[in-house]
Chain A
Amino acid sequence: MKQRGILVRDFSHYYGQTRSLNKINLDVYRNEILGIIGPARSGKSTFLACLNRLNDLIPGSRVEGKILVDDRDIYGPEVDVVALRRKLGMVFATPVPLPLTIYENIVFGVRLLGNNNRRELDLLVEDSLQKAGLWNEVKDRLHSSALKLSGGQQQRLCIARVLALKPQYIMLDEPTSGLDPISTMKIEDSLRSLKKDFTIILVTNNTKQAARVADRTAFFLMGELVEIDETPVVFTRPSDRRTEAYLEGKFG
Chain B
Amino acid sequence: MTKLERNDRLVRLSLLMIALSAISVLAIITVFIFEQGTPIMFRYGFRSFLLGQDWYPSEKSFGLLPMIVGSLMVTFGALLIGVPLGLASAIFLTEFSHRRLARILKPVIELLAGIPSVVYGFIGLMFLVPFIRDKFGGPGLSVLAASVILGIMILPTVISIAIDSIRAVPDSYREGSIALGATRWQTVRMVVLPAARSGIIAGIILGMGRAIGETMAVIMVAGNAADIPGSILAPVRTLTSNIALEMAYASGEHREALFATGVILFIIIMILNTIANLTSARQRKK
Task: Give the B-binding residues of A (Cβ under 8 A).
Answer: 52, 54, 57, 59, 82-83, 85-86, 89-90, 92, 94, 96-100, 108-109, 112, 145, 158, 161-162, 165
Are A99 and B194 in contact (CB-based, < 8 A)? yes
Tell me how far the C-beta of A104 lies from the nearest C-beta in chain B, rounded to whole angstroms: 9
8 closest Cβ contacts across the A-B interface? A109-B180, A86-B181, A96-B172, A90-B179, A96-B176, A85-B181, A99-B195, A82-B181
Total B residues in contact with A, Cβ cutoff 8 Å: 20
When each residue 161-203 of chain B gets 1 if its CB lies under 8 Å from chain A and 0 otherwise, what string results? 0000000001011111111111100100011001100000000
Q: How far is the CA of A112 from the CA of B93 in the complex (A)?
A: 24
Are A85 and B179 in contact (CB-based, < 8 A)? yes
Task: Give the A-binding residues of B (Cβ under 8 A).
Answer: 99, 170, 172-183, 186, 190-191, 194-195, 286
Q: How far is the CA of A35 from the CA of B146 in the complex (A)?
A: 65
Cross-chain contact of B191 among A52, A83, A99, A162 (Cβ < 8 A): A99
Tell me how far the C-beta of A13 lies from the nearest C-beta in chain B, rounded to whole angstroms: 17
Tell me how far the C-beta of A198 lies from the nearest C-beta in chain B, rounded to whole angstroms: 16
Are A162 and B180 in contact (CB-based, < 8 A)? yes
Tell me how far the C-beta of A116 lies from the nearest C-beta in chain B, rounded to whole angstroms: 13
Chain B neighbourhood of A112, CB < 8 A: 180-182, 186, 190
Chain B neighbourhood of A108, CB < 8 A: 177, 180, 182, 190
Q: How far is the CA of A160 from the CA of B208 in the complex (A)?
A: 43
Q: How far is the CA of A89 from the CA of B170 in the complex (A)?
A: 20
Residue of B nearest to A164 (CB): B180
Cross-chain contact of A57 among B99, B178, B183 (Cβ < 8 A): B178
Cross-chain contact of A161 among B180, B186, B286 (Cβ < 8 A): B180
Residue of A nearest to B190 (CB): A108
Residue of A nearest to B170 (CB): A96
Q: How far is the CA of A59 from the CA of B97 in the complex (A)?
A: 13
Residue of A97, A99, A161 most packed against chain B (CB within 10 A): A99
Residue of B99, B177, B182, B183 most packed against chain A (CB within 10 A): B182
Q: How far is the CA of A194 from the CA of B178 in the complex (A)?
A: 23
Chain A neighbourhood of B194, CB < 8 A: 99-100
Cross-chain contact of A54 among B173, B175, B186 (Cβ < 8 A): B175
Chain B neighbourhood of A99, CB < 8 A: 173, 191, 194-195
Are A98 and B181 in contact (CB-based, < 8 A)? no
Chain B neighbourhood of A85, CB < 8 A: 178-181
Chain B neighbourhood of A158, CB < 8 A: 176
Are A57 and B175 in contact (CB-based, < 8 A)? yes
Cross-chain contact of A89 among B99, B172, B179 (Cβ < 8 A): B179
Are B179 and A98 in contact (CB-based, < 8 A)? no
11 example contacts (A-B, Cβ-Cβ < 8 A) are as follows: A57-B174, A85-B178, A85-B181, A86-B180, A89-B179, A89-B180, A92-B176, A99-B191, A108-B180, A112-B181, A112-B186
Chain B neighbourhood of A82, CB < 8 A: 181-183
Q: How far is the CA of A57 from the CA of B96 in the complex (A)?
A: 12
Are B186 and A98 in contact (CB-based, < 8 A)? no
Q: How far is the CA of A81 from the CA of B190 in the complex (A)?
A: 19
Chain A neighbourhood of B179, CB < 8 A: 52, 54, 85, 89-90, 92
Are B173 and A109 in contact (CB-based, < 8 A)? no
Residue of B nearest to A97 (CB): B176
Residue of A nearest to B191 (CB): A98
Are A96 and B181 in contact (CB-based, < 8 A)? no
Tell me how far the C-beta of A2 lies from the nearest C-beta in chain B, rounded to whole angstroms: 27
Q: How far is the CA of A98 from the CA of B178 in the complex (A)?
A: 11
Query: Other CB < 8 Å A-B pairs besides A82-B182, A98-B190, 8 of them?
Result: A85-B179, A92-B175, A96-B176, A98-B177, A108-B190, A112-B181, A112-B190, A161-B180
Are B195 and A83 in contact (CB-based, < 8 A)? no
Chain A neighbourhood of B176, CB < 8 A: 92, 96-98, 158
Q: How far is the CA of A191 from the CA of B173 in the complex (A)?
A: 24
Chain B neighbourhood of A57, CB < 8 A: 174-175, 178
Q: How far is the CA of A221 from the CA of B99 in the complex (A)?
A: 33
